Amino acid sequence: MEQVSGEVGAFKATIRKKARYVNQDLCTGCGSCAEKCPTMVVDAYNAGMGKRKAIYKYFPQGIPSVFTIDAPECRQLGQGKKCGVCAKVCQAKAIDFDQKDAIIEIEAGAIILATGYDVFDPSVIPEYGYTTINNVVTALEFERLLSASGPTAGHLDRPSDLLMEKDLEEGEKEVKKLARQVKSLEDKHGKTSADVVAAVKSGSAAVDDELIQWAQAAEKLAALEERVATLQKKTAAVQTAKKLAFIQCVGSRDFRFNRFCSSYCCMHSVKEAMIANEHDNAVNSSIFCMDLRAVGRGFEEYKLRGGKQANIKYVRGRVAEITEDEANNPIVWYESTTTQKVEHETFDMVVLATACVPTEGTAKVAELFGVELESNGFFKTHPLAPLNTTRPGIFTCGCAQGPMDIPESVAQASSAAARAAEVVAPLATVEKQKAVG
């Protein structure tokens, strides 16, 4: 959105449609371009836990179902290199490297602000170990791990184990590369690497620079082979996470960060724990909370069902710190409000139920549209008309107004559409009467 002017019933909006470098009228969504693209980048949709190609779909259910080129990451667009593989394999001839941003003018009777929300960054709470302890993840990251279309195809693989497997893969590649170099030298000189290493260590006068480099490569290869063998044993013994901890109110109900309750986190954690148990009945979960707020029809019953059928334990206590043992297992330290003692427990993985906060650009959007924000940074609405912003004709819904779950967001979206229709429908009737007259 570039500019907004006018008033209720007669808004004019200037919108910049960013170039996707793919003609969406021609693209069939076949995926040949992404299959052949040589550039891999971090996948934000999978919370940075997976990779995607530089040409991609925003997400699997995106509409229109067409591809987009990530220009800064593209070899041809962002790095100035010769590539164009996607254009060569696209049978629909949809790739357009010369595509530019388009400016669109829209006339509207009403506007709905549905900017969504951002997830609170828990790295600002160092005692929880996010980014320093691999097996401490956010609820959104855990959601992607549970998804069949996620980075682990729905298996509860621990991030530390995934890193170890990646390290093993890279180590095996390096071993093959070094082994080829050493074998080439052995064939060239008709000697074994062991003899050369022994000669170099003994300080023989016949040793030259090539033999010294050969010996160094042979020793590096032996050390790397030993390390790879160790990693192979460890990865062979890896199992999926069986014991989970969910930490509630991370960034919520906290005077240091956000005073408000994010409302949906409690039931989100219960849902994730139940899904994890459905994936593997051996999974046990502990939900650490000050109090569990199951506000909604049937939510309390759902919570109780989780405790009875999905091996969920509800622990009343505030988590103070998360540490790590030698096996990369997170250790949760907390004060139990029932026993009034400081206790600790070891888990396979810890999930942080992070706060729902306003999107990064909310302040700019509010300034652009001429609406006010409330004290927590969400769009301010009228107490008796919760979809009305402070400017007539502009409405809001979902987490743009404040934290809420999916059913409530969907209901509000329908209500916001109805409120907008109340503004637009009479205008349409007047225009129709003018046309008839």
330 in any annotated domain: yes
Element (H, E) at 309: helix 299-309
CA distance 102 to 271: 42
Pair 146, 272 in one domain: yes
Bridge partners of residue 16, in order along the sequence: 103
345 in any annotated domain: yes
CA distance 277 to 226: 37
CATH number at residue 23: 3.30.70
106 in any annotated domain: no
Pair 202, 226 in one domain: yes
CATH number at residue 306: 3.50.50.60
The pLDDT, as a whole number, for residue 204 is 63
Of 332, 141, 351, 329, the residue nearest 246 (C-alpha): 351
Pair 332, 401 in one domain: no
Which string of DSSP letters, residue by residue, matches 394-417? EEE-GGGTS---HHHHHHHHHHHH
Around 30, how many Cα atoms within 13 Å sit in the side-chain half-sphere? 14
Angle (CA) 48 52 57, round 5°: 105
Pair 268, 139 in one domain: yes
Q: Report how far apart, in Å, the C-alpha atoms of 6 and of each of 103, 369, 376, 394 are.
A: 18, 10, 28, 11
Bridge partners of residue 113, in order along the sequence: 396
Q: What is the full per-residue pLDDT of the chain (437 aa) written as tens digits?
A: 999 999 998 999 999 999 999 999 999 999 999 999 999 999 999 988 889 999 999 888 888 899 999 999 999 998 888 899 999 999 999 999 999 999 999 999 999 999 999 999 999 999 999 999 999 999 999 999 999 888 899 999 999 999 999 999 999 999 999 999 889 988 888 888 888 888 888 876 566 778 888 888 999 999 999 999 999 999 998 999 999 999 999 999 999 999 999 999 999 999 999 999 999 999 999 999 988 888 888 999 999 999 999 999 999 998 999 999 999 999 999 999 888 899 999 999 999 999 999 999 999 999 999 999 999 999 999 989 999 999 999 999 999 999 999 999 999 999 999 999 999 887 666 566 666 66
Dihedral, CA of residue 25, residue 31, residue 35 and residue 36, to nearest 10: -30
Of 341, 338, 279, the residue nearest 313 (C-alpha): 338
Pair 259, 144 in one domain: yes
Around 305, how many Cα atoms within 13 Å sit in the side-chain half-sphere? 10
3 in any annotated domain: no
Pair 246, 339 in one domain: yes
Helices (H), 54-192: 85-89, 139-146, 159-189
Query: Which pTM was predicted?
Result: 0.88
Q: Report how far apart, in Å, the C-alpha atoms of 158 and of each of 142, 165, 346 are.
A: 10, 11, 14
Of 360, 333, 337, 354, the residue nearest 345 (C-alpha): 333
The pLDDT, as a whole number, for residue 348 is 97
CA distance 128 to 188: 56
Instruction: Among 307, 323, 357, identify where a domain stops.
Output: 357
Instruction: Among 322, 340, 357, identify where a domain stops.
Output: 357
Instruction: Among 328, 357, 386, identify where a domain stops.
Output: 357
Q: Is the peptide bond before 159 cis (omega within 30 degrees of 0)?
A: no
Contact 146, 272 (CB under 8 A): yes
2 in any annotated domain: no
Q: Which residues contact 314 (CB under 8 A, 6 or more apart)?
A: 286, 287, 289, 292, 303, 307
Identify the sign of the CA torsion 345, 349, 354, 360. Answer: positive
Q: Look-up: residue for tokens 């999905």?
A: 310
Q: What are phi and psi of 103, to 5 degrees?
A: -100, 125
CA 33 to chain centre: 24
Other Cβ atoms less than 10 A from the Cβ of 182: the count is 20
Residue type, 409: S
Buried (b) or exposed (e) across 366-402, using 16+ Cβ within 10 A? beebebebeeeebbbbeeeeebbbbbebbbbbbbbbb
Pair 337, 375 in one domain: no
246 in any annotated domain: yes
The pLDDT, as a whole number, for residue 436 is 63
9 in any annotated domain: no
Q: Look-up: residue for tokens 């470098």?
A: 21
Pair 398, 268 in one domain: no
Pair 220, 291 in one domain: no
Q: If you ran DSSP here, which 8-state letter would residue 129 be given?
A: -
User: Which stretches does DSSP call E strand in 74-225?
Assistant: 102-108, 111-113, 118-119, 136-138
Pair 132, 258 in one domain: yes
Q: Which residues contact 233 (CB under 8 A, 6 or more apart)?
A: none
Pair 202, 137 in one domain: no
Bridge partners of residue 14, in order along the sequence: 3, 105
In the chain, the number of structural domains is 4
8 in any annotated domain: no
Pair 46, 190 in one domain: no
The pLDDT, as a whole number, for residue 63 is 85
How long a stretch of residues is the chain? 437
Residue-number span of the structural domain to which 167 is assigned: 160-236
The pLDDT, as a whole number, for residue 85 is 95
The pLDDT, as a whole number, for residue 207 is 67
